[in-house]
Structure 1
């Protein structure tokens, strides 16, 4: 976590989203990011770290345990609704790929996003599926992908050692993507993604 935090801090982002947080890793991120991102909110295994004050922090119920949260980032350009989401993984079983849990999580996230009243919304997530995945259409039909609109290169994120697919993304509504790219590999099996946005 300490090394990952240093990579993320060097990205110079206003807001960071982290998933698969644990009781051991969360305090490390809080300590390592305190100087650059003094505001943070963690619910279950997902968290946001921000240069700007975070308010209205709430769980987004997409699974039986907490895998998504919503907060308002009070930026100098005004409030922005920010979501951190981690959809269920696609698993391989004797019956083939099992996607039902991921697909149900996507539908629940989509319902929360449809109900979102804020005019500017950013969703930072590990979607365990690509933007073109039909099962994610309830979410992606409402949002633009920063990578698809302004990305550099393929933007592949998984697996980190030799990325061949992009399952992590920055999705926006009411915000203009200016650039999107992947960050250097960390200890994670995913590459982090970044985007520059204009409000």
Structure 2
């Protein structure tokens, strides 16, 4: 065998390996795009009606993890056929999450009305780091703080630590150990407790803000606990909790729709923005983070996890307000990060003659 023959025989395994790699890449693309197309179709038709589909919808952001890797390989290999296939998941990502990564236009709509910073904070009922919670609140300096999983001990300690900052506080109106509550720099005019069918809680607080009445809801919707998903009754449990959450969101939407004044909802909603229950509130309120935040904005980090997993905490507002800025607040010893939004009241529209 001559030198040329030896060189050719040495190249043959390399060419074979490259062809196999390209074929594997192509077939992986086909399978991935087929799965994504199936999910998008099922979601459009059934949304959260199936327990398994409901879970997939909740974790939808993680379905896109392979996408940048596949796009990168397609680009360096100049695989036009594969890049064409990946157009579908790329467009789906842009539709679902693209606006969260666009630059925010500062000053696009100047608003002359009063401004207010608000925070929603699930403390975790076993959290004993109230000094850290108080510091997290002070660093964001919101005018209103809505709490979920606020125990009586939490309320008493935080009431002492923040008494100078928040002179107005709601009473602990619920008998259960995991209450909700609100601390405010603005006078509280009334408090109405709302209880859903599954004992999850909400309250409606009327505040006097800059001469304007504003209604602030604080809510904690039904959770779907991972430990219960994994036991024998998992499918039935998932179906129940997703249905409860959708009913609770619909009840809140109906309550909000009856009001003519500005509304703010501070909520540990226990759903993501790709869930059916999200659409119930989105029909009547604006998601502040979608409007003025940047990035995924994940707020929940189960104890022991190295990173935050999902955005399930929200600041919603009615069309009487506009979000100027929104983001995730500092850590305070809980498995949730607070979400903070800076809102402005729109000036009243002049009545037509």
Q: Deviations over 1:146-184 (max 9, x none)?
A: 100100332110116511211001001010000001111
Which of 133, 140, 143 is 1:4 aligned to? 133
Aligned residues of 2:252 and 2:281 also touching (Cα < 8 A): yes
Q: How does 1:25-174 map to 2 (within 5 A)?
A: 25-41=154-170, 42-44=172-174, 45-65=179-199, 67-76=201-210, 78-91=212-225, 92=229, 93-94=231-232, 95-96=234-235, 97=238, 98-118=241-261, 120-159=262-301, 161-173=306-318, 174=320
Rg larger in structure = 2
- Bigger helix fraction: 2
In structure 2, distance between residues paired with 1:158 and 1:195: 17
In structure 1, distance between residues paired with 2:163 and 2:198: 30
Q: Deviations over 1:102-123 (max 9, x none)?
A: 22222222222222232x1110
SS at match of 2:152: coil
Aligned residues of 2:322 and 2:344 also touching (Cα < 8 A): yes
Aligned residues of 1:59 and 1:66 also touching (Cα < 8 A): no
Deviation at 1:55, TM superposition (A): 1.3
Between 29-38 and 60-69, report the one with greater CA deviation: 60-69
* Structure-1 residue corresponding to 2:13: none
Give runs of ≥4 in structure 1 deviating > 6 Å.
none
In structure 2, distance between residues paired with 1:114 and 1:13: 26
Structure 2 portions without partners, runs of 5+? 1-129, 346-353
SS at match of 1:104: helix
Q: What is the TM-score with the length of structure 1 in the denominator?
A: 0.92
* Structure-1 residue corresponding to 2:326: 180
Structure 1 portions without partners, runs of 5+? none
Which of 128, 152, 163 is 1:23 aligned to? 152
Q: How many residues align?
A: 198
SS at match of 2:195: coil
What is the Cα-based RMSD across aligned positions, in Å? 1.7
Q: Deviations over 1:121-158 (max 9, x none)?
A: 11011000013311232222111111001003321101
Deviation at 1:66, TM superposition (A): 5.7
